[in-house]
Structure 1
């Protein structure tokens, strides 16, 4: 038995010798495997980033059921549907309330650089909090003021000075749809693949910006 163990210890490491015979080929093979692993991890990272960034708003919604137009593709590309669908939903036993929420992907002027940039504007009834976002829910009275919005501090772009001023309690003005708006506060959601940032305001302010005060449609 002892003799067999000694033979096993002295046996030639063929596998290592084959790998070590041509070190350049070994390095090339290891580099190829490492590069393939790197690509897989990058793809997993892109997939996670895409999913997380595009579902942050969805996860913060305070709702059990959401009605959407069958033509809707994503939040920046929604379609309208008739408000009577909400009334029909309210007639269903067990439904406590049905409130409209408005989305529009539009262009605004960066309050810091005054350059145009894309932003997703969200409107809802401030008396019926729609998001589980403390920074938003603490400022519901502010967005009731005409043409007043909250700005996403996680937006992609050059907004550092503007955010610092708002943090100091100052308000900023800029333009959307050739209409002057006031930024009175901040919240954080972050940019997504569909928009560089978000603005939150009341449903009435949203209608004034995009629908000319007409509540005929709901998103």
Structure 2
């Protein structure tokens, strides 16, 4: 006799959930909380990775020249610009421009009287100090370009509006036109704010400024005509960066073998991957957020397993009766799996919505770029199904051990 699958007649999995609404709601809340933790940990982890992309994503260059002692974006070390001039001579290269970046000491401007919660006057902070040649700008931020003439004064600087309030903006919240002309010290040198722009900071520093190469050299104590933090190579139209990199390395090795001991050549895509990997794998904060994702997954799986295992135990006589009637292991297991998938869907929707709101709130309060991405949206949905499926499979083991004879 051909046996019918009960799940084709009646939505047994759904009815199981609806039969105990309080327990089902508690399960949904528990799994939603675990998924919310995963979303937030991934969001913070993404902010760590974006610490490098914020700046590198706006730099004009197909290849990057850097020192072999390069540590990370804000500690790049320097190399001799003579090697940049040599690279400029390669037929695939259109031009090579320097970029300068490091962490520098910032002393807050005078505090307005109404900013009672602001740090006191003269407080010191660490700021990301960037610079480029005014005649050859390499930061692709349009609002910077019409302000470059202001940077001809080596003591003038532009401040990133994403810089946090602890750096002393005039309105106690964020830098704006109100701060233009405000005196402050950067690198023990008296400076003034000449304008502002929007780029973004990250987890390496809570503030960023832009100066001319001359102003940078006066504060960093280096001759920017001879040394650079990075060399940005722009290739001629139609030249593939990977092919150009290989050709350039071979060409430099023939011209002067010392060159490849003094500089490293990477494509911009390679540099971005390297920087992301460095922040995620080689820094404590990156590893903490990665571990947070793993622990959140385990917590969610444990919650679902406890709910499903308890449900199977309570309904063991019902399942065993169905087995006695001739239903297969897989027919019954399908009920448990569908039940776990329903929990995944019902738990995911509120978690995704709340995460989206928390991302926006976090970005607004901390000025750290956290946002929902499609990759994260679908990735966490996949994790939700994986987490609930794994718990369902574990609960099924208890179901399969049920013996019909024990009920009669």
Q: Give TM class, smaller chain.
A: 0.7 to 0.9
Residue 204 of structure 2 corresponds to 194
* Local SS of the residue matching 2:63: coil
Higher helix share: 2
Is 2:124 the counterpart of 1:116? yes
Residue 173 of structure 1 corresponds to 183
Higher strand share: 1
Aligned counterpart in structure 2 of residue 71 of structure 1, from 69, 72, 76: 69
Separation in structure 2 between the aligned mates of residue 101 and residue 199 of structure 1, nearest angstrom? 13
Kindly provide the CA deviation profile for residues 129-149 of structure 1, in whole angstroms up to 9, marking residues without a partner as x.
Answer: 111112211111111112111
Is 2:158 the counterpart of 1:136? no
Q: CA deviation at 1:88?
A: 1.6
How do 1:97-112 residues align onto structure 2 when only pairs under 5 Å count? 97-111=95-109, 112=111
Stretches of structure 2 that go unaligned for 5 or more consecutive residues are 1-5, 112-120, 230-408
Aligned counterpart in structure 2 of residue 36 of structure 1, from 31, 34, 37: 34
Residue 206 of structure 1 corresponds to 216
Change (3 A) 1:212 1:13: closer
Separation in structure 2 between the aligned mates of residue 164 and residue 27 of structure 1, nearest angstrom? 43
Separation in structure 1 between the aligned mates of residue 176 and residue 71 of structure 2, nearest angstrom? 34
* Local SS of the residue matching 2:209: strand
* Local SS of the residue matching 1:100: strand
Q: Is the 8 A contact 2:134 2:152 kept in 1?
A: yes
The structure with higher relative contact order (CA 8 Å, sep 6+) is 2
Residue 56 of structure 2 corresponds to 58
Q: Is the 8 A contact 1:69 1:78 kept in 2?
A: yes
**RMSD, aligned α-carbons:** 2.6
Separation in structure 2 between the aligned mates of residue 217 and residue 143 of structure 1, nearest angstrom? 20
Aligned counterpart in structure 2 of residue 89 of structure 1, from 84, 87, 90: 87
Separation in structure 1 between the aligned mates of residue 24 and residue 75 of structure 2, nearest angstrom? 51
Q: CA deviation at 1:81?
A: 1.5
**Mean Cα displacement is larger for which, 64-73 or 187-196?**
64-73
Change (3 A) 1:218 1:104: same
Q: CA deviation at 1:53?
A: 4.3
Q: CA deviation at 1:124?
A: 1.1
Change (3 A) 1:22 1:178: same
Separation in structure 1 between the aligned mates of residue 66 and residue 161 of structure 2, nearest angstrom? 27
Q: CA deviation at 1:71?
A: 2.5
Is 2:170 the counterpart of 1:161? yes
Q: CA deviation at 1:87?
A: 1.4
**Mean Cα displacement is larger for which, 31-40 or 197-206?**
31-40
Stretches of structure 1 that go unaligned for 5 or more consecutive residues are 1-7
User: TM-score by structure 2 length?
Assistant: 0.47
Separation in structure 1 between the aligned mates of residue 222 and residue 87 of structure 2, nearest angstrom? 26
User: TM-score by structure 1 length?
Assistant: 0.83
- Aligned residues between the structures: 210
Q: CA deviation at 1:55?
A: 1.1
Residue 228 of structure 2 corresponds to 218
Q: CA deviation at 1:61?
A: 1.2
Q: Is the 8 A contact 1:54 1:193 kept in 2?
A: no
